[in-house]
Amino acid sequence: VGSYQGRRPRWLNALLTLILAGVLAFAMLLGVVLSGAHSSVSGDPQVMIVLGCQVKPWGPSVLLQDRLDTALAYLQDHPDMTVVACGGQGADEPESEARAIAGYLTEHGVSKGNILLDEDSHNTHQNLKNAARLLSEEKLEPAHTQVVVVSNGFHLTRARMLAQRCGFEEVSTLAAPESHLPSRLKMYLREPLALVKSFVADR
């Protein structure tokens, strides 16, 4: 009787094994996310793509403002770049993310004529797919155009993967900080799962 009580049931062993496997898989995916969470600019990008993020009633969210300030710092030395502002309007947003991005950039000196608006996208894959279409319409073919994608660091591994799927062959990245700590923690927990979802479904 004593030896039986000292043994765990098989179902419990199986459950613990599954939990351990899940934790290890998540840790590996988080490592992949972290490996791309930095700026990496090569060549001489002609186009900047600013990925959308939530707009609040009073203006860009903290994460979006981090992206915009990072974009502005780069544009100071590259004022003639074409900028694609990405993001549609959610039910709780006062305007499209693309329009909020364009407004913030123009208020800080970026020429309105250099900005293309993608107001039809609602996720990262659509951001980049629509950016590719807009650039093609401007005779900037994605396969032959060097681009720099701007987003928060947690987002860049997935953004680079999806940009390449959308036809961009020369992709640089600019990693914005995550000034809002709760959002940072939330996104680093969410992003490994989003990476799997995008790898499987966003094609």
How many whole angstroms separate alpha carbon 190 and alpha carbon 183? 10
User: pLDDT tens-digit profile of 15-59?
Assistant: 998 999 999 999 999 999 999 999 999 999 999 999 999 999 999
Q: How many CB atoms lie within 10 A of CB 193?
A: 11
pLDDT of residue 1 exceeding 50: no
Task: Report the run of H or E that residue 86 belongs to, with start and end.
Answer: strand 82-86
Beta bridge partners of 60: 55
Please report the DSSP string for 91-120 in residue order.
TT-SS-HHHHHHHHHHHTT--GGGEEEE-S
User: pLDDT confidence of 103, banded at 50, 70, 90?
Assistant: very high
pLDDT at position 141 is 96
Note the residue count of the chain: 203
Between the ranges 1-5, 6-10, 177-181, where is the mean pLDDT highest?
A: 177-181
User: pLDDT tens-digit profile of 47-70?
Assistant: 999 999 999 999 999 999 999 999
49, 172 contact by CB (below 8 A): no
pLDDT of residue 166 exceeding 50: yes
Average pLDDT for 153-159: 97
**174: nearest Cα among 44, 53, 50, 52:** 50
Please report the DSSP string for 150-178 in residue order.
EEEGGGHHHHHHHHHHTT--EEEEEEE--
88, 123 contact by CB (below 8 A): no
Rounded to an integer, what is the distance from CA 157 to the centroid of its chain? 8
Average pLDDT for 77-99: 97
Whether the model pTM is above 0.85: yes
